[in-house]
């Protein structure tokens, strides 16, 4: 069984030491950093499979560090913070965190969440290695993965069930990441017919897609609205 490498990033020495005790085992190696800058240095040298990231830290905080990591890596990130307000959680999740736990926390709960995220990450990796389809058949934006060959969608390693029309809309937008499509363009491409002026079919389908792929559908990180123009999938 191959080892998993976990990186703990927290400016409190006591928390780092306690988490090392709970997490380190025959199948897990643990690395530690006291701020975001140290974490980025470790990521350049080591293969890390999961990160536990504190939000409030000197030199470089967890939000900025997560944002930088997400520019090139899809490693699971669990955020830690003494802040319990919903806005802080949403901010952390929107910059790319996979999970969020508030201090003080039960170490056993954190261990359970770590194991859950590692399972998802490992299963997604196995899915990619065993998939013999052309790489062009798989489109990915962070944790959102669409497989054009099998017509399946995953978010953070978990299957998402879409209707055929929902899938076609998502496929169109992911095929053209960053491009804004008007409601009329989406309807005509997916339904292959002109749209009626008062038809809100596309908006309803987009709302349902968001409910299935977004953590917070009212503040989406994947499927964005460009007011007065249409919809797009973010490039990153």
> Is residue 126 over pLDDT 50?
no
**Once rounded to an integer, what is the mean pLDDT over residues 33-56?**
94
Cα torsion for 89, 85, 107, 116, to the nearest 10°? -30
pLDDT tens digits for range 142-155: 889 998 888 889 99
Residue 217: the pLDDT is 87
According to CATH, the topology of domain 4-128 is Rossmann fold (3.40.50)
Q: Is the pTM of this model over 0.75?
A: no
Which helix (DSSP H) or strand (DSSP E) does residue 90 occupy?
helix 86-94
> Is residue 170 over pLDDT 90?
yes
Q: Are 25 and 2 in contact (CB under 8 A)?
A: no
Average pLDDT across the chain, whole number? 85
Q: Are 189 and 172 in contact (CB under 8 A)?
A: yes
Residues of the chain with CATH 3.40.50.2300: 4-128
Residues of the chain with CATH 1.10.10.10: 135-233
Whether omega for the bond prior to residue 104 falls within 30 degrees of 0, making it cis, is yes
**Once rounded to an integer, what is the mean pLDDT over residues 196-213?**
85
Token pair listed for 136: 């062009």
Tell me which of 8 and 59 has the higher pLDDT. 8
Domain 135-233, second-level architecture: Orthogonal Bundle (1.10)
């Amino acid at each position: 069984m191959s080892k998993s490498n976990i990186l703990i990033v927290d400016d409190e020495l006591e928390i780092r030491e306690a988490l090392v005790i709970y997490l380190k085992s025959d199948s897990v190696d643990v690395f530690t950093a006291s701020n975001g800058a140290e974490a980025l240095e470790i990521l350049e040298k080591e293969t890390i499979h999961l990160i536990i990231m504190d939000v409030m830290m000197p030199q470089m905080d967890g939000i900025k560090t997560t944002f930088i990591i997400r520019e090139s890596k899809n490693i699971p990130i669990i955020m830690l913070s003494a802040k319990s307000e919903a806005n802080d959680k949403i901010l952390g999740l929107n910059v790319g965190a996979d999970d969020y736990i508030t201090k003080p926390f039960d170490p056993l709960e954190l261990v359970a969440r770590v194991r859950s995220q590692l399972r998802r990450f490992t299963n997604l990796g196995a899915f990619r290695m065993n998939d013999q389809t052309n790489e062009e058949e798989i489109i990915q934006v962070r944790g959102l993965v669409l497989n054009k060959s099998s017509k399946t969608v995953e978010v953070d390693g978990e299957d998402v069930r879409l209707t055929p029309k929902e899938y076609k809309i998502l496929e169109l937008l992911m095929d053209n990441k960053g491009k804004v499509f008007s409601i009329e363009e989406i309807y005509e491409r997916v339904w292959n017919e002109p749209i009626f002026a008062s038809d809100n079919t596309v908006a309803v389908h987009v709302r349902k897609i968001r409910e299935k792929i977004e953590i917070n559908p009212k503040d989406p990180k994947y499927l964005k609205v460009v007011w007065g123009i249409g919809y797009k999938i973010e490039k990153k």
